Chain A
């Protein structure tokens, strides 16, 4: 019961805070667009982890890097 009250208070703290924002709404829009571009476009289409994508095991990754460093 007490926990429920605490969560309710936290929820309304954020809910009222967001509702009363003036300039904040524009900022949140910018944040969401930015995060969308970063994680849904750049990360998905352009920034694959080079070693994780090519090799399945840590050993294969380390072998590849050693080869790169010693060839």
Chain B
């Protein structure tokens, strides 16, 4: 199979999907978090009747509207790409993706788009409580939209609740609740939305800090900061906890990704956590030509503890996963590849028997796909059958390693920042802390970097898989002309860059205008 695949097509399709997803993720997290911050602010306004809170709410609601308008529907392009560039994959997963995405369309999208009109047009036209309810429903709807697409992504990381139908070559959902409530889906949803909450909180704090530095609308800025810092602190602590539980799940279900982002080449009992490291450009010949990690700061036993809650537990490294480790019942990748080829051959023989009309043989082969032993010993490795070289199972180590460490470092920095904002607000001297205010302004791009790094860990770290263990990228891609993908790649780059520039310029203009005085003070 690999011999027939144009790798430039696979790589351009990957690059295009990555570009679209990364640009899409510039808009989404702010919508997720700012919708809740606005809802909290409006709740305070409705409860206190203080018009200053209405003024605060309306300012941040305008920025929410700009981001929502420019970002809306950018995710649909991903669905275009599924049908055109990744048709084998779309077919293979169709029934699993169908339900969550249909629910997203019917429930979340309509909820969001109906009440957003009330949110923006309804001031002074509907009752304050109805307006507030609409604002909350927009926030809940936006986050529910994210739920369904994240459930679909979690299924790709850890496919559960499905059965492969060899007659159609599609996976069919047999247990919706297992798909929805798989630990991967729950963790992914909570980790992702709370990272969006963190981003939005830093957005509000950074802009409010700018107002304080300019000595403009200081009451507005301090109150905005207070709401954002409380929300951000809770969200970022929660993000740290869900990140910890996500890592434990990854250690169990995607050990190669875990080993790659931790830079663990050789497994050991009491594995150390690499808190810091510099990955060399030069491959280390003694370590299977993996890039050498030159400078490292390790904490003994901590990785074993974080992965398995046991400081002496064995954590497999990349080499254990490629070459196997009999002591720990780890199959070598070559064995998995052979088993995957057996599963593919059974599917091929079944198709041929059906075409020849040999019902007896077809029925015998068909029965294997329902047989638990065949499923666990062979079909579980179906995707490995498309690979020839065991080393192709190793993802890009430097990219995974750096992305993971940048994400974690920034996550802890954000917790510290929120804590300091609250401390200075409590002390009442935040306006005098000009260096700190500048730091808050300069922090604005960092949660975007952390979010993108998180997705790089999740997606680059699981290469070569599109669906973990079942479908690698080389088998998922459509047989189309690579030049067509290149053209749309550059088209997307132009369109999305224009949108990003529009977002920044309209937002900047609106921020400079500042909150309107209509609410009074």
Contact = CB atoms under 8 A, between A and B. Distances in A.
Nearest to B386: A69
A67 B167 CA distance: 12
B506 A48 contact: no
Instruction: Classify the interface of chain B: helix, strand, loop or mixed.
Output: helix
A51 B170 CA distance: 14
A68 B80 contact: no
A27 B87 contact: no
A29 to B, nearest CB: 10
A10 to B, nearest CB: 9
Interface of A is mostly: helix
B168 to A, nearest CB: 4
Contacts, number: 112
A46 B484 contact: yes
Contact of B91 (A17, A34, A35, A62): A62
Interface string B88-119: 10111000000000000000000000000100
Contacts of B487: 46
Contacts of A18: 121
Nearest to B83: A49
A23 B85 CA distance: 37
Which of A13, A31, A69 has most B Cβ within 10 Å? Answer: A69
B168 A23 contact: no
Nearest to B495: A37
Interface residues of A, number: 37
Contacts of B125: 13, 16
A70 to B, nearest CB: 4
B83 A47 contact: yes
B360 interface: no
Given A34-B73, A65-B88, A71 B1 contact: yes
B336 to A, nearest CB: 17
Nearest to B509: A23
Interface of A: 13-14, 16-18, 20, 23-24, 26-28, 30-31, 34-35, 37-38, 42-43, 46-52, 58, 61-63, 65-71
Interface of B: 1, 4, 62, 65-66, 69-70, 72-74, 76-77, 80-81, 83-85, 87-88, 90-92, 117, 120-122, 125, 166-170, 344-345, 347-348, 351, 475, 478-480, 484, 487-488, 491, 495, 499, 502, 506, 510
Given A31-B73, A71-B1, 8 more contacts: A13-B121, A14-B117, A16-B125, A31-B72, A50-B85, A65-B87, A65-B91, A66-B169
